[in-house]
Amino acid sequence: MATVNISPKSSALLIQDMQNDIVKSDRPVVPMGGIDLIANSLKLLNKAREVGMPVIYVQVIRRSDGKDAPRPALGASSAVGGPSLVEGTTGADVVSELAPQAGDLVVSKHTTSPFNTTDIEVYLRRLGIDTLLLTGYSTTGVVEGSLRDARDKDYDCVVVRDCCAAGTLQEQDTCMDIVFPRMAWVADADEVIAAIQG
């Protein structure tokens, strides 16, 4: 494989759906668990800040009445339980360890991929970004959705394996080992940090 060099000036780190109701809830965070997922992401986030790479937070926001929540897939049972990720609640906040700082960009979405219901592309164009470092929960949700949309728009992509998690090991491994390498460089946080110039 060719050597990968990542320029902080033309790259952006996407911290996606790393919210309390998601990674600090009772849902499975596979394969490493929420604590390690957050720790790995923080290591990469610190490197991005150190070299001046733009950081973009993607978060799911829902209305309290659930009218903007996605319908269950055809043939699936209806969702149960109260609303989560409601705007203005602690559950919808990005986990405190990775909280946005002044100057970071935060985009709120209502769909799986941020390329559908946010102004993320406005920011990417204005910042001159051509490469995206993708992290988040879940691998088969926001990470896969943003990867497919970004590749269709000709962005180069890096999927940071140990900064992503899924509901099952099968989902995680299928994406990381089979699906994602067709569209992106898949590497661990330490490899990505080593590839960042500066």
pLDDT of 76-117, one tens digit each?
Answer: 776 655 678 888 899 999 999 999 999 999 999 999 999 998
Question: Is 31 contained in some domain?
Answer: yes
Question: Is 80 contained in some domain?
Answer: no
Question: Is 107 contained in some domain?
Answer: yes
Question: Is 77 contained in some domain?
Answer: no
Question: Is 82 contained in some domain?
Answer: no
> What totals of helices (H) and strands (E) does the chain contain, helices first?
7, 6
* Distance of alpha carbon 152 from alpha carbon 64, whole angstroms: 33
Question: Is 110 contained in some domain?
Answer: yes
Q: What is the pLDDT of residues 110-123, one digit of tens each?
A: 999 999 989 999 99
Counting the structural domains of the chain, the total is: 1
Tally of CB atoms within 10 A around 27: 15
CATH number at residue 189: 3.40.50.850
Question: Is 79 contained in some domain?
Answer: no
Q: Which pLDDT score is estimated for 62?
A: 87
Can you give the three-state secondary structure of 51-78, one letter per residue?
A: HCCCEEEEEECECCCCCCCCCCCCCCCC
Question: Is 52 contained in some domain?
Answer: yes
Q: Which domain holds residue 165?
A: 11-68+90-195
